[in-house]
Amino acid sequence: MSIMVYPREDRLEKLSQEEIISSTKLVIQGLEALKSEHNSILHSLLETIRCLKKDEEANLVHEKSSLLRKSVEMIELGLGEAQVMMALSAHLNAVESEKQKLRAQVRRLCQENQWLRDELAGTQQKLQKSEQSVAQLEEEKKHLEFMNQLKKYDEDVSPTVSYDFDLSINVQERIDG
């Protein structure tokens, strides 16, 4: 005779998934052994029924065999549920693994995104410095062109001024002399 043990509810909350799976594996082994035992008893009862004639003992054996069949069906149901739990656990583990991979990928993408932002900020600073340098060089070029124009203007104006200056000196010398 087997005794059904119910764990306390607070204990169920504290079980980890690995503990549940190992417990389920143990239950599966126990149910398979119980199923095998029930099937052998049922087989022997069926042999007994064949040997017995129709009387009260046969009815008792039929009753026992129907109870054993129900018990075997319940055991098979329990085994099926345990196998579903195992398959569900394997599926949940696969989903959790995929979720962890996706989280790692998100972290890598965030890091890459930050790196790209840093690179963009550096490139924008370089661009701004280059634009400032270009603007400064353009201003210097305009200044040099302006200075060249002044120099040409001064060269064009200078001979006239020096000639006028020489004339005024000659006129002054004649007046003085």
> pLDDT per residue over 83-106, tens digit each?
998 899 899 999 999 999 999 999
Q: What percent of the chain has pLDDT over 90?
A: 40
Exposed e or buried b per residue across 76-101, where buried means at least 16 C-beta atoms within 10 angstroms of its C-beta: eebbeebeebeeeeeeeeeeeeeeee
Residue 166 lies in a domain: no
Query: Using CA atoms, how far apart are residues 39 and 45, in angstroms rounded to an integer?
Result: 10
Q: Give the tokens for residue 43.
A: 């087989």
| Domain total in the chain | 1
Note the pLDDT tens digit of each residue in 116-159. 999 999 999 999 999 999 999 999 999 999 999 998 888 877 65
Q: Are 89 and 73 in contact (CB under 8 A)?
A: no
Which pLDDT score is estimated for 12? 46
Which pLDDT score is estimated for 25? 87
Comparing CA positions, the residue from 27, 125, 143 lying closest to residue 77 is 27
Residue 157 lies in a domain: no
Whether the pLDDT of residue 31 is over 50: the answer is: yes
pTM for this predicted structure: 0.50
3-state percent breakdown (helix, strand, coil) of the chain, nearest 5: 90, 0, 10
Query: Using CA atoms, how far apart are residues 16 and 92, in angstroms rounded to an integer?
Result: 13
Domain range holding 55? 15-137
Residue 96 lies in a domain: yes
Which pLDDT score is estimated for 148? 92
Both ends of the chain: CA-CA distance in Å? 157
Residue 34 lies in a domain: yes
Confidence class for position 41, pLDDT limits 50, 70, 90:
confident
Residue 80 lies in a domain: yes
